Chains A and B, each alone.
Chain A
Amino acid sequence: MASFLRLISLLCLPILFAVSVNGSVSEGTEEDFSEDLLLKPLPDRKVLAHFHFQSRAPSSRSNSYGRHHHLFPKAISQLVHKYRIKEMELSFTQGRWRYDHWGGFDLISSSNAKPSGVELWAVFDVLPNEVDATWKNLTHSLSGLFCASINFLESSTSYSAPKWSFHPESENMRYGTLPREAVCTENLTPWLKLLPCRDKSGLSVLMDRPSIYKGYYHSQRLHLLSSEFDSNAVDSAIVLDQTLTVVLQPHNHRGTLGYSTATQLQPSWSLSTIFGRRVIGKCSLARSSNVYIQLDRGLMAELQGMLGEQEMFSIARAGFEGSRSNPAFELSANPDRVHMEMSSRYDKHASVLYMFMVAEKYDDSEPLDLRFTWKIPVAWSIPQAPLHVTRFLLGSGNERGAIALQLKSTKPSDRLMPDTVFADNCSLLVRVFQVVPWYIKVYYHTLHIFINDQPHKINNVIEKMQVSPSKDKVSPGVMEMLLKLPCGLKSAALTIEFDKGFLHIDEYPPDANQGLDIPSAVISFPDFSTSTQFVENNSSKSPILLKWQGQNPILSYTEVLLVPFTTPDFSMPYNVITITCTVLALYFGSLLNVLRRRVGEEERFMKSKATRKLRVLHLVSKLLAKLRGRQWEPSESQSPSSVSNSKSKLLFKVILVAGLAAAWQYYFG
C-alpha cells in the first residue's frame, strides 16, 4: 500500500499542487457558502460523521472595505481585519482520536483529529514586536465570541511560538492549548451562528445536541485563511472552514460492542439512527450541499478479497447501474455520483466515495434518511500513519520524572518507506513539536533515544533540533526536533527527564490536586502526505473534495499528560503567619517579663504565701476530720496524707492528660 501511495503522490504531485492552489483562493467575486457531510463506517463498529462548511468572502480591497457582508459572518471578517490574521485555527475537542481504529493516514485524521480541549494557533501579518499584543487581544475576542475561556491563553506562560516544526509558515505564529477546557453546547451555538442557515435548515439540522455530544469523539474546528494582507496575491479572499467531526456509535439492537470479528455483522445505520434527525432540504443559501459516504482503502481491499470481480464492479459503479444494492451492503438511495479513487497498477485497492446531493426533491414528507445496511460480516483495518505514537510518564514521586515518547511502526518493517526515498539509504523523517509548561523543568541534556529498544546516539538520529528553554513564570519551554529514523525500525522511544518546579500559591489551578497538564506533542511525518485523486475529475468543486485532493500533511497528536503535583495546604500562608507571630509574641512577652522581674521580692512574696497556704491546709484538714466525725490529730497524719495527696494529684493529672489526648484523637484525629 505504501508503494502505491508513493506512486500516486509522485505522479500527481505537480497537478495536485496546482489544483490546491487554485482551489484555496476563490475565483469568484461573490461571497459563497457550501456545506458537506461525510459519513464513514469505522472498523470498530462506529461511524464517523464529518460536517464541513465553507464560507468564502472576496477581497475587501475591491469592494466595501470589508464592512458590508452578505453571507460571510461579519464577526469573522472583522476579526480578520482587526487583528490582521493570515491564518488561524481554533478547535474545541472532547475525547481522544484513536489513531489505530479510526485511521491515521487520511485528511480527517490529520486535520480534524485534535488534542482534547482547546487548541488555537494563528499567523499574523503584523510587525514581529506586535505579535504578542495582537495575540492577546485575539484570545480575548475569541473567548467572547465562542463563550470559552480562551482568554487564559493570554498569559505568556501558556502560549509559544513554534519555529518550523508545527506549520511550514511559522513566522509571526503563536500556538497555545488549553487541555482542560470542557466543550459543550455553549461553544457550538456561537459556532453555528457563523453559518448563514445556523441549524435551521440544511445539513446542520442533523446536529442534535444530545446525540453529537454523546459520541466518542467530538471536535469542532474553525479554520481561517486570508490573503487580505498579502500584497502579492492577485485576488485575495477570506476562506472560513468550519468542521465538526464526531464519532458515533450506531444503535445496535443485537448489542455487542467492541471490535468486530469476521463472523459478526457490522451494525447498520442511517442518519436518523445516528443523529435522531433527518435532512429535510439543503440550506437555501448554500451553493452546494452534499452528503458523502466513504469506504476506505482497507475496507475495499477486504471486500475485494471476499467478493468476485463482477461484484466489486457493481460496488464501484453503483450509481450508474441504478442498483444500490450489492452482495456486501445496501444503500437506501441511489448515489448521484460515485467517486472512485484513482488506482495504480500496483495497488488495486482504492477508496470509494458515494455522493448524494441534497436537492429540492427532499422535503418534510420525504426527507433524506440515508441508510447503510451491511449484508455480510466484514472486518478490516484502516490506513495508518507510518508510526503510532504514544506518550507517557516515567518515574514516581512528586519530585522528578521523565517523559517518554514512543513511536511504534504500524506496518511490516520492509514496507515502511517514505515517498522520497528510493535507495538503500532508507530513512524516515519525523518531526516532533513539544511544548512543556515552565513548572516542568526539563533537562534537555538527558534526552535519550532508543531504537528497537537499543540505546542510540542522539547525534545519529537527530537531524535538527531547536530548544527554547522555559523561563520561570514567563514562558514555556519549546522543543522542536527533526528525527531521522531508519526505515526498518519496529519501535523508537525518546525519554527526557524533568524536575517538578514549585509554584507560587497563586499559580495553582482551582483543582490543584488533580495535577497539571502537559499539552499534547505534535508528531508529523514530512515525507508523507495524503492526497486522494479521483478518477472522474469533473466539475464538482465541492470544497471537501478539493480539500481531499490537496496535499495534506500527516500529523498526529499524542495524549495529554497529567502530572501529579505536590499541592500545599492552601491555608498555609496564614498558618505560617499565625505561628511565627505567636512565637515572636511569646518571646517578646517572656523577655519583657524577665527584664522587669524582681527576684528578691518574689521570694518574699512566695514565702508569705506558703505560710498562708499551710494555714489554709490546716483548716481544711480540720474541717475534713470534723466531717468524718473523727478526732483531729494534728501532727501524725500530716505527712503521710500529704504524700498520698500529691500522689493522687499526679495520678489525676496523668488521667486528665490521657483523657484530653483521647478526646482530641476522637474528635479531630
Chain B
Amino acid sequence: MAEISEPSKPPQLDSGSSEAGLSQFDPKTMRNTKPGFKRLILTISVFSSFLLGLPFLWKSVEIYRAPLPFKDIDALSSHIESSPLQFPCTFRVIFFGFDSMASRAEQLKSSILDEMTKLSSKSSLCGSCSNNYAVSVVIESGSDCSQTRTDASSCSWRCGALSASDFAASLENGLQSADDFLEVALGGCYKPASGGRVYSVVVMNKGENVKATIGKYRHGWIVGRVSEAEAIAKVAETFVKLFGNGGTEDGLIPGEFMPVGADGKIFLSFNLLNADPDDWIYDWDFQKVDEVILKPLIEELTPIANVSVESQVLYHTPTSSFSYWDNKQESYIFNTKDLPFFVNSNEWHLDTSIAAGGRSKILHFVVYIPSARECPLLLQLPDGQISETNGFISPTWGGVIVWNPKGCLRDHESKLLHRHMILYPELEKIVEVFLGQFRQLFGLKSNPQHVGLSGTFNILTSQKGFTEWEMDFLSRQHSCFNLHSCASSLGSLSRLVQSLPRMIIIDEIGKQVKYSLEAANLAQKNASMGVFDAAAISSRQARSLAEDAFFHPSIMSVSYFSFEHCFAVYSPFFLPVALHVILAAVREWKRYKQEHKKYIAFLAKPKQS
C-alpha cells in the first residue's frame, strides 16, 4: 500500500508548497512535477499481455482442418465446365466399286466432314466425339487404290487388305459372317494414340437394294446401288449418330439417371413375384441364367461398373392398382396411366441388399406372375396397343415384366398341380426382355433398327447384350458423367467447407480429395488420348472418392463446432476482464494526458511570468 500511495505524494506536497509559495499556481490546471508512468505502464502492460495472449487462445480453440486443395478443385470444375471432354475418334470409309471417283479421296473427305459437322452441331451429348474426330477415306477400285493423307497418329490403310470379292462372298453367308469377316480383315491396326479404335464403314456399290448394316464390332457396311451423295450422307450419319452417339437420341435418359452407384457398383436384383401363391406357385432356375446369360454381360460391363447378381422369389405380392377385363383381348388390361401404381412398395418388399454398400445402385428386375383373378394380364400402351414385351422400365429403379402362366384360364379350376417351374426356354425369353430393359436403363435403344435421316440402319445385336461400339460409347459417356459428378461433388464440398469455417475436417477427407483429383486428371488425360476404358475406370474412381469425401461420416455427425459455443464458454471470463482492463488502460492514459498537460502548463508559466 505504501508503495502505491507513494506516487500520489508529490502532487500533495506540491499543492502544499504552492499554497505557501506561489500564489498564481493553480493545482487544478497545473502541476510542477512530471506525472508518474507507473500506473500507466502497469495497465498498458496488462492490456498488451492480453492482446499478446489472444493469438495463443485463438490457436488453442482452433479446430483441425486438413488443408484442402481448393484451387485445384476450382480449376477442375472450371475446366470441366468450360471445355467438355474431347474424346478423339478415328473414322474410316472404304469405298468399293466407285470407279468414277478414283482420285477424289480428299474431296470426299471434306464433304463427309461437312456433313458430319452439320449433324454433330445439333447433338452435344456428353461423351460423343463432338468435334474431335479424324476421318480418312480409302477408295479401292480394282487394282487401283487411293486414300487421303493420314496424320501419324492414325493407322494408314494397306491397299488391298480387304478384297471386294471375299467380302461379297461372306455377305452371301449372312450378316453375321460378313461381320466376322470384316472384323478379321479390318483389324490388326493398334496404334495406342487413338486407343486402337478405328470405326470403319465399307461402302460397296453392288446389287440393287441399298442396305446399311452396323455390325457388333466397330464397323458397318452399306451395300447396294448408292449414289455418291447418298453414300456420304449415310456414312456421316453412321459416324455421328451411331458410332459417336451410340444410337441414342438427345435427352432420352439424362446423365443424372445413369444406373451406376456412386461407388461404381450395380446390384442386379432379380425378383420373381407370385401375386397369390394360393393359386399357383412358380419357381425358376436362376442359377443357370446367371451362369449362361448374365456372366458375359457382367464381364463386358467391367469398365463401367462392377455388377453383381442376386435373385429371390417373393409371395403374396399384389399390385396396388387393378386391371379391367377386356372381352376383345380375352384378358385383363392394365393401362399405362396406372403404371405408377403397379409397383406396390408396401407389399413388394424387394429390399435393399445387405451385401451392397451404402452408395451402390440396386436395379430391381421384377417378373410379376398375376394371380388367377387377373390372368392373363396385359399392359396397354397409350395408343391402345398391347405391349409386346409386357413390361416397362422405371429409370434408376429397374424394370417389371408381367409373365402370364400358360393357359391360366384353364388352370383356374384345377388346383392339382400347384407348384411349377418356369421352363428354361421361357426363362430365356424373359431374360432377353430384361436385357432390353437393362440397355434402356443405360439409355441405349433396344430395337434392331435405327431410323435416321438418311434411311434405316440394321443393327446387329451382340450375344453379350452390348456391342463393342456401344460399349465404347458407354465408356465415353460414363467417364464424362463421372467427371462431371466428381467435379460437382468436390465443388460442393469445397463450398461447404469454406462456408463453415469451424467445421472439423479430418486428414482422411483431405487424402480422399487429393486422390480424387489425381484420378480425375488421369481420366481426363486418358480421355484425350482416346483410351476410353481406362478413362472410364479412373473417372469412376474419381467419382467414388469424391463421394466418399463428401459423405464422410465425420462431416455428417459433427457438422461443426459452432462459434456461439466458443463464445458462451469464454465470454463469462473475458467479457468482464476485458471491460476492466480496457477501462483501466483508457482511464490511465487519459489521466496521464491530462496530468501531462498540467505539467506543460506549469513549465510554460514561468516563461510567461
Residues of A within 8 A of B (CB): 63-64, 67-71, 74-75, 78-79, 81-82, 141, 145, 193, 196-198, 200-201, 281, 284-285, 574, 577-578, 580-582, 584-586, 588-589, 592-601, 604
Contacts and interface: CB of A to CB of B under 8 A. Distances in A.
B572 A74 contact: no
Given A74-B310, A284-B315, A596-B42, 19 more contacts: A68-B312, A78-B353, A197-B315, A197-B316, A201-B277, A284-B277, A285-B281, A574-B569, A581-B572, A582-B572, A584-B573, A584-B577, A585-B576, A585-B577, A589-B580, A593-B584, A596-B39, A600-B9, A601-B8
B8 A585 contact: no
Contacts of A593: 580, 584
A69 B312 contact: yes
Contacts of B42: 595-596
23 contacts: A67-B311, A68-B310, A70-B312, A79-B354, A145-B354, A193-B351, A196-B315, A197-B315, A201-B278, A577-B569, A577-B572, A581-B572, A585-B573, A585-B577, A585-B580, A589-B576, A592-B43, A596-B587, A597-B4, A598-B8, A599-B1, A599-B8, A601-B8
Interface in B46-70: 46
Contacts of B287: 63-64, 68
A78 B314 CA distance: 16
A8 B418 CA distance: 43
Contact of B11 (A64, A595, A601): A601
B311 to A, nearest CB: 4
Nearest to B42: A595
B283 interface: yes
A464 to B, nearest CB: 39
A285 B315 CA distance: 9
B577 A69 contact: no
Nearest to A81: B355
B588 interface: yes
Contacts of B581: 588, 592
B4 A70 contact: no
Chain A interface, >50% SS class: helix
Contact of A592 (B12, B278, B584): B584
Given A75-B351, A200-B316, A599-B5, A582 B584 contact: no
Contacts of A594: 4
A141 B354 contact: yes
Nearest to B4: A597
A78 B311 CA distance: 12
B417 interface: no
B312 A74 contact: yes
B271 to A, nearest CB: 9
B277 A581 contact: no
B435 interface: no
Nearest to A587: B577
A569 B576 CA distance: 26
Considering residues B281, B287, B314, B316, which has the most beta carbons from chain A within 10 angstroms of its beta carbon? B316
Can you list the 3 inter-chain pairs with the closest CB atoms, starting with the nearest?
A581-B573, A581-B572, A585-B576
Contacts of B7: 598
A576 to B, nearest CB: 10
Interface string B418-441: 100000000000000000000000
Given A595-B4, A597-B4, A586 B576 contact: yes
Interface in B279-314: 281, 283, 286-287, 290, 308-314
B568 A574 contact: yes
B349 interface: yes
A582 B575 CA distance: 10
B576 A201 contact: no
A193 B349 contact: yes
Contact of A78 (B5, B39, B277, B354): B354
Interface string B521-563: 0000000000000000000000000000000000000000000
B310 A284 contact: no
A285 B277 contact: yes
Contact of A75 (B5, B283, B354): B354
Given A596-B39, A600-B9, A588 B577 contact: yes
Contact of B313 (A64, A71, A601): A71
Contacts of A599: 1, 4-5, 8
Given A64-B287, A68-B290, A588 B8 contact: no
A82 B354 contact: yes
B491 to A, nearest CB: 31
B8 A600 contact: yes
Contacts of B355: 78, 81-82
Contacts of A78: 310, 353-355
A145 B352 CA distance: 10
Considering residues A75, A81, A281, which has the most beta carbons from chain B within 10 angstroms of its beta carbon? A75
A30 to B, nearest CB: 10
Contacts of B588: 596
